[in-house]
A and B are shown apart, each in its own frame.
Chain A
């Protein structure tokens, strides 16, 4: 059995002194997809942020493949975290946003902004200031990093928000392709979605 891409052992997480997650353990190996479900406030975003390395758990351990999250090191090499907010600068065009990322990030991306935007069906809006695009288009651009970088672990926070049917299908096929390549996905979503592989589920309780 190969080493899991993500292994979480007994973590507890709190936000602003309030305990949100208690004693959570799971592991995700290559080709597996884990879905976090639970009502609002049950800690899905907090868990994803801990998995991305932005926050440290109060106790327990988060281990990504070949590195331990002791010191917070993030790299597009090991994990891609698509958060709730789209992370785009409104005054710049989608292409300018992605080009900036390509230039400053380490390690450099595997695909360039133009081809990624074409794949996402945004060829005509490539040079339009992001502020003029619809919510669905912005959401699609925020997914661009999944194509631009090559990382084994994907962390997706409500990625289907505002997506129309065809974009939703595209994201589902992107996830399927990632799983076929033996990548891992941790997904927090309310919506129903289709997936070729079997979806592991983890339901999060609300902590009073």
Chain B
């Protein structure tokens, strides 16, 4: 992984190592994803085939909620232990730390969820193209969420009602991802290759990659001072 700067590597390794030491926490985002999915059959009318026809949208919504809720953990532990302050005071490049944290968060939440969408979609009778499109859009979209979400997570770290405030602030910004992600999957289920949607999601990812880490670094400095 020498294509990333050292600080990014180190931060990502730290995040991964930290999470793998409390093994149960690895599964929380995944379990929540499936839990939300399970709520829908109970709530929508039992019309045969209805659930499967809106499955892509439901999968994307459940993924969105699971990832939004897991964003809180990005900076919480480091803020309350004072590690964030130590890292800042030691002159670390906070932009690289932000990228490392987002990458670590994506590997733990977005990536597993995207991969899990494949077998789940298969069980729900989605065709092959739809399954691939789902996985790719979820990977792109969740990476964007990890990046943009890191800025908002840094801004709201340690505040009363922090988790809820974080989700409330992030969801409006995730709506475009939801729109294009689920529309791509729906089009794929009709046999159309969703080029426009994929371009858009790619564009949003690049935008967030270039803007979010700086916003996150700035947010950390604001909250520490």
Chain A residues with a Cβ under 8 A of chain B: 49, 52, 54-56, 72, 74-77, 79-81, 83-92, 96, 100-101, 103-107, 129, 145, 149
Contact = CB atoms under 8 A, between A and B. Distances in A.
Given A101-B90, A104-B93, A106-B92, A91 B225 contact: no
A88 B85 contact: no
Given A76-B91, A107-B91, A145-B86, A88 B10 contact: no
B82 A83 contact: yes
Nearest to A91: B21
A129 B21 contact: yes
Nearest to B97: A104
Contact of B89 (A81, A90, A91): A81
A101 B87 contact: yes
Interface string B1-37: 0000011001100100110011000000000000000
B150 to A, nearest CB: 16
B205 to A, nearest CB: 25
A77 B86 contact: no
Residue picked from B82, B91, B93, most chain A C-beta under 10 Å: B91
B224 interface: yes
20 contacts: A49-B225, A54-B88, A72-B225, A74-B88, A75-B91, A87-B81, A87-B85, A87-B86, A88-B83, A89-B18, A89-B81, A89-B83, A90-B77, A90-B81, A96-B14, A96-B17, A100-B14, A104-B92, A105-B92, A107-B91
A107 B135 CA distance: 41
B91 to A, nearest CB: 4
B89 to A, nearest CB: 5
A145 B87 CA distance: 11
B78 interface: yes
Contact of A88 (B17, B81, B88): B81
Nearest to A81: B89
**Interface SS of chain B:** helix
5 nearest A-B pairs in the assembled complex, by CB-CB distance:
A85-B82, A105-B90, A87-B86, A87-B82, A91-B21
Nearest to B25: A91
A92 B14 contact: yes
A75 B92 CA distance: 8
A72 B222 CA distance: 11
Contacts of A84: 82
Contacts of B22: 91
A86 B81 CA distance: 7
Contacts of A106: 90-93
Interface string B90-104: 111100110000000
A107 B90 CA distance: 8
Nearest to A90: B81
B85 A89 contact: no
Contacts of B14: 89, 92, 96, 100
